[in-house]
């Protein structure tokens, strides 16, 4: 089990978040990720609390899932009302999940995937799509 207060460097934070160091720098500048501290000197490296980095990664994953559910709904031209009726999820519950206020549970995703006729993995870990040239 990882210590959430453990301090980690930029390279470990980038590995956990699966981002480039330049992206991490932009996230720090914008306030998306708060460093625990900055090492001395003008160009001193940032250090981060592992728990904060993992929290940001979990939020990113939840946002990806919401995006994939919405994208599949759009591809199939299915609205919120129809999805709610087909899955048994209340409109309130579904709405809060589709705006990212509450993460989808595994049970929710199983129902949605079954209704949409897609594997649950497509919603959780979507395949990379080719860009038409």
pLDDT tens column, 69-85: 999 999 999 999 999 99
Q: Domain 58-124, what fold?
A: 434 Repressor (Amino-terminal Domain) (1.10.260)
Token pair recorded at residue 126: 């979507």
Do residues 102 and 109 lie in contact, with contact meaning Cβ atoms separated by under 8 Å?
no
Would you list the domain boundaries of the chain?
7-56, 58-124
Dist CA 54 CA 103 (whole Å)? 15
pLDDT of residue 42: 79
pLDDT of residue 22: 94
Q: What is the pTM of this model?
A: 0.74
Dist CA 53 CA 55 (whole Å)? 5
pLDDT of residue 39: 85
pLDDT of residue 55: 92
Place of tokens 């301090």: 7
pLDDT of residue 126: 64
Spell out, as residue ranges, where the chain has pLDDT lower than 50: none
């Amino acid at each position: 089990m990882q210590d959430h207060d453990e301090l980690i460097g930029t390279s470990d934070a980038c590995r956990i978040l699966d981002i480039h160091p330049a992206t991490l720098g932009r996230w720090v500048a914008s306030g998306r990720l708060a460093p625990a501290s900055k090492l001395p000197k003008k160009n001193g490296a940032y250090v981060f609390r592992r728990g904060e980095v993992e929290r940001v990664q979990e939020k990113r994953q939840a946002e990806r899932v919401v995006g994939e559910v919405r994208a599949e709904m759009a591809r199939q031209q299915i609205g919120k009302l129809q999805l709610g009726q087909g899955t048994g999820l209340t409109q309130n519950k579904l709405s809060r999940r589709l705006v990212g206020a509450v993460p989808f549970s595994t049970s929710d995703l199983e129902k949605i995937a079954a209704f949409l006729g897609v594997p649950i993995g497509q919603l959780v870990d979507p395949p990379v799509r080719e860009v038409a040239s």
